[in-house]
Structure 1
Amino acid sequence: MLEVSALGWIVTIGVIVALLALDLTLGVLRPHVVGFREAAGWSIFYIAVAIVFGIVFGSVYGWGHGTEYFAGYIVEKSLSVDNLFVFVIIMTTFAVPEKYQQEVLTFGIIIALVLRVIFIALGAALLSMFAFMFLVFGLILLYTAVQLFRHRDEDPDVGENALVKAGRRFLPVTDDYIDGKMVTRIDGKRMVTPLFLVLLAIGGTDLLFALDSIPAVFGVTESAYIVFVANAFALLGLRALFFLVKGLLDRLVYLSTGLSLILAFIGVKLILHWAHKSISESVPEVATPISLAVIIGILIVTTVASLIKSSRDPSLKAHPGSLRASSNDQQHAKN
């Protein structure tokens, strides 16, 4: 079992907070329209930081743990691309001006990181106390995979987001965006702007993704430290990646199918691990290098097949998928 000293945790958190502060400075204190060159540069920077960390980590703690980190990072990075799909839908639905998109994305990433810290701590505690939680996590991922595959050609209904509905019901909301503010005063009355509702929508989405992504990464490692750093480094580059790939997302027509296969694979891996520990050691387990190879293979096949399909039929549009039928589809089913 991996043991990281208190100093190791402090240094790691310090690096992540410093990178987060850099992202906050770029996204909030200097709001502007992000061009392709800037987005590409920062995306390469954050991926390079994640790779360098993995190399250093593997050299210090052994490449068994290093492989687990890279597997976890790739899983979280691939799931974060699906996050980007939903972020694009949210930005479009609320007609967020481009110069304010950085701000809300940066705060959304902070919310996502906080939620993941909470879920990682909870998940690690449950797994250490109850072996059957591996079975529970595995079944959750299998259910998620099936639902995502069933609704792979749908978009989540942003208007049905519980936090957004509550915000509209209980908070006074301005009609327009006001200088990138989330809270303002009009005629002496404190009001929230639509940007605050966008943040609620992103926060609610992050909560749902955390419920899926944390069990997924625990499927490749039992170390809370590796789960944390894999999540943190995958999320830190999300702001730049959003502006880099938002034009490409529509072409990834098989991404939801690929993600459903990855979640199903990790779900089976967790169930086998539970059976190996709780029923019989003769039950085979899936080694981490095999997991890494399968995950990378699915992502490569999914991406190549998507680009080929979309080039042959430019009218096709990719969808992030949904865990349930949209309200419109449910209405059609009733009719």
Structure 2
Amino acid sequence: MTGTPLMWSLFATFVFVALLVDFFALRKQGAHQVTIREAAIWSLIWVAVSFIFVGWMWWHLGGMNPDPALRAVANDKSLEFITGYLVEKALAVDNIFVFLMLFTYFAVPADYQKRVLMIGILGALVLRAIMIFVGAWAISRFHWTLYVFGAFLVFTGIKMWWAAGQEPDLESNPALKWIRRHMRIAPNYDGERLTTVVEGVRMATPLAVVVILIGIVDVIFAVDSIPAIFAITTDTFIVLTSNVFAILGLRAMYFLLAGMHERFHLLSYGLALVLLLIGTKMLLIDVYKIPVVWSLGATLGILAATMILSLLIPPKGSAHRGAYPFARKREAGDKRE
């Protein structure tokens, strides 16, 4: 484990300052539609911040030390971070497509999407940190947990492969059905507010419903992605830091890729193969430990191949069709809604 008190403190400070700058920028800009240029700039900033951090970690662990043993540790840990970061970024693409489906289904105005994603990312950071520490504790106490994670990733990869290209049915989603039964939901948006008053009754706005569903979606995806990074390393510090830095750039990546989901229609197949690869790696951990550099190379190769094939092979149809404003789906008999 590489996480010393100093490293944990600097990491926490690093993330706090980054979020503070992001919040300040969000408040100064106000509600507005994010352009491709703005999303690209912020994506580059978050990637640069992540590599500045891993560069500092490499130096701190002895990357420039004359002792070859310390240099080897620094190189290995840095490579684990980069591989974990890449895997989390790749798996986050599926989050992006689901976010796009939610925004389309609820007809969320483009000006409000940035705020929704910011709240969702903060919730994701907290929930993932809890899940990572629980997972690390389970692995340290029960080695067989690794096999459970590996089998789960293989199963998820197969399931993702068969589900790729199919149109999601949000209307039958149990979480949405539960929200409709237990919450009073206003028929229209009220700016960026999460609650509003309709005829003297306090209600949640559709924006609040989207925030809740995004939180649920992230928990579901975390169940897939967190075991995947434990297959790369069981170092809690590396697992958490690579996960957090991947999540911090998720909002900018959404606005950068949201308009490209049709072009990379085969990417889900690539992500399924990555999960199968990582799950197999975890199942073989006591038989043969696949080098991290091989995992990194295979992940890059699979993702690059599916993206190139997506551009060469035209899609048969959109995976996210049909915009259904929330008010349109209101059931006449549901008076609580």
TM range (shorter): 0.7 to 0.9
Q: Distance in 2 between matches of 1:259 and 1:85?
A: 13
What does residue 220 of structure 1 align with? 232
What does residue 77 of structure 2 align with? 65
Q: What is the letter of the counterpart of residue 79 of structure 1?
A: L
Query: Is 2:298 the partner of 1:298?
Result: no
SS at 1:145 equivalent: helix
What does residue 331 of structure 1 align with? none
SS at 1:174 equivalent: coil
What does residue 293 of structure 2 align with? 289
SS at 1:185 equivalent: strand
What does residue 126 of structure 1 align with? 138
Alignment equivalent of 2:122, drawn from 110, 119, 127: 110
Query: Is 2:8 the partner of 1:4?
Result: no
Query: Is 2:318 the partner of 1:317?
Result: yes
What does residue 16 of structure 1 align with? 15
Deviations 1:208-234 (A, max 9, x none): 101000000111011111111111111
Q: Distance in 1 between matches of 2:59 and 2:266?
A: 36
In 1, are the aligned partners of 2:189 and 2:205 still within 8 Å (CA)? yes
In 1, are the aligned partners of 2:197 and 2:203 still within 8 Å (CA)? yes
Write out aligned runs for 1:112-261 (5 A).
Answer: 112-261=124-273
What does residue 46 of structure 1 align with? 46
What does residue 99 of structure 1 align with? 111
Aligned-residue offset at 1:28: 5.7
Deviations 1:117-158 (A, max 9, x none): 111011000000011011000001011001001111113332
**Normalising to structure 1: TM-score of the pair?**
0.88
Q: Distance in 1 between matches of 2:79 and 2:257?
A: 27
> Any gaps of 5 or more consecutive residues in structure 2?
62-73, 321-337
What is the percentage of aligned positions where both structures have the same residue? 38
In 1, are the aligned partners of 2:168 and 2:319 still within 8 Å (CA)? no
SS at 1:190 equivalent: strand
Pick which of 24-33 and 207-216 moved more.
Answer: 24-33
- What is the aligned-residue RMSD (CA, Å)? 1.7
Q: What is the letter of the counterpart of residue 54 of structure 2?
A: G
Aligned-residue offset at 1:162: 3.3
SS at 2:168 equivalent: coil
What does residue 65 of structure 2 align with? none
Q: Distance in 2 between matches of 1:233 and 1:149?
A: 27
Aligned-residue offset at 1:318: 5.0
Pick which of 94-103 and 104-113 moved more.
Answer: 104-113
Aligned-residue offset at 1:180: 1.1
Q: Distance in 2 between matches of 1:162 and 1:60?
A: 47
Aligned-residue offset at 1:316: 4.2
Q: What is the letter of the counterpart of residue 236 of structure 2?
A: A
What does residue 263 of structure 1 align with? 275
Deviations 1:61-114 (A, max 9, x none): 201000000000000000111110000000000000000000111111111111
Q: Distance in 2 between matches of 1:65 and 1:25?
A: 33
In 2, are the aligned partners of 1:28 and 1:102 still within 8 Å (CA)? no
Q: Distance in 2 between matches of 1:155 and 1:75?
A: 24
